[in-house]
Structure 1
Amino acid sequence: MTTLTLTRSRVARKDPDRYKQGAARWVVLALVVLTALLVLVPFAVMLMNAFKSPADYSGNGPLAWPKSFQLDGLKTYWQQVHFGGKLVNSIVISGSVAVLGVVLSLLNAYALGIGRVRGRMWIVALFLLANMIPQEALVYPLYSMAKSLGLYNSRLSVIIIFTVIQSAFGTYLLASVLGTFPKALLEAAALDGAGRWTTLWRVVVPTVRPTLSVLLIFFFIWTWNEFFIPLVMLIDNSTQTVPLALASLQGDRLMDATTTNAGALISLLPTVVFFLIFQRTLTRGVTVGAVK
């Protein structure tokens, strides 16, 4: 009886803390749901106005439910800005930058993190400082270089620029990861007669593949959303990207709200689809990196 009484008294003392933790979890969950709803409100307004007619928008305002679902805004936007060509341009530029940026970051970080070149810390710090330089300070030198090389108003110029910009961050991140790479794996590969390239592609890459996947997704989305440098470097309608297509709808004194909302909806869908496809890859990569 004494042992049973002691056990019950211990459980009774622990129960209040458990109840408090449960209540705190519900409060946190409620705050997260409320924040998510607040974030989704602008997207809901955009979705409603994308399917309105101009008369419905001007008569009832942006917050009213559409009287009838119209596709005129979507059709007008697609035809007016030649969205199909700009979609292809964004996919080509973002995909190329994502792949090339990851490869360049990996090669740089392999030399810095495992190769242990002289002045490694200074070089990594230089890459960190390069990430802090605003794009406004880079535009004129990049514009002059592209003009002199004959690459101005071409997708290749933007691909080269953003490959270097994104790889600066990728090099800094991967150099930190590879700086703590297990030496036992490298020594085992060396005993098996593996050279530097074999060690890179068969030992290092499989180990840091989750981190590379995360960088690939981030580079794609970041490049897709870039606006300022493509605005300066791409002046022809056939080379411009999706963000530039959306900006072309805004005039000095007149703006078609329904077409603009329809354009924002179409422009947002590719990145949402891309994120949903690679959501598990992103989550797995972040989780593995956290565990390591």
Structure 2
Amino acid sequence: MTATVSRTLAERIEDLLPQTQCTKCGYPACRPYADAIAAGEANYNQCPPGGAEGIARLAALLGKPVIPLDTTHGVERARPVAVIDENVCIGCTLCMQACPVDAIVGAPKQMHTVIAGLCTGCDLCVPPCPVDCIAMVPVTGERTGWDAWSQEEADAARARHDRRMARLERERAAAEARASARQASRAAQANVDANADARPAAPAASEDPEAKKRAIIQAALERARKKKEEMARLGASPKNTEHVSADVQAQIDAAEERRRRLGLTDDENASPSGDGDKTA
């Protein structure tokens, strides 16, 4: 119940503020200042654009005495309007980004201009200008505070501010969505690359014809060795190992030489060159 009352009070306080969104009160906009007053976190005399009449309105609503404006937040003054020197403006867009009510129009690297009827005189466009081409020109003569501003103008300024904040939120959400999509795309690509790196390399024999040839010969020799061992276990000795002719021995020696060149020499099982009778 207390939260509902405080929220309602904040809304009623906000209705009494001039909606210039100038931040002079120490809060980023009129509504946060209203929330702070309702919560007892800020005093009701911190709004220079509202001036003395604004303080009197808030005091009546809150049931408190009228007090002087806290001049540490600024002084009551005639309402100014921002004017851009078009000959000096470089089109940096910083003033457009600072304006809380979208009262400045222009494009990057093009001259900007202020829509006077929409300007709330908040001064926020002046500090970020890098070429100091914005002047705040008083337009209400001797009239200050609420005498220089109307409820209709305040309501219109609040509506423009709310639309701007909604647009900025949409743009922020869209930017975050794009960033998340880029991050997900990078993660997916990194996963694909990692899987590609994890795949086993193709056997060297499939890429090196000589290696494949050696593997085939080695396999054949292995089969012959096993067959020889099997015959020895069965008591069958090799045949035609004695009285080998010189021609046949030469062929055996040539075969052994080829095996050595291919790195397939098996000293244990190789037939010793010259053991046979080389005479016909």
TM-score norm. by structure 2 comes to 0.20
Name the structure, 1 or 2, with higher relative contact order (CA <8 Å, separation 6+). 1
Q: Whose strand proportion is higher, 1 or 2?
A: 2
Q: Whose helix proportion is higher, 1 or 2?
A: 1
TM-score norm. by structure 1 comes to 0.20
> Which protein is bigger by CA-based radius of gyration?
2
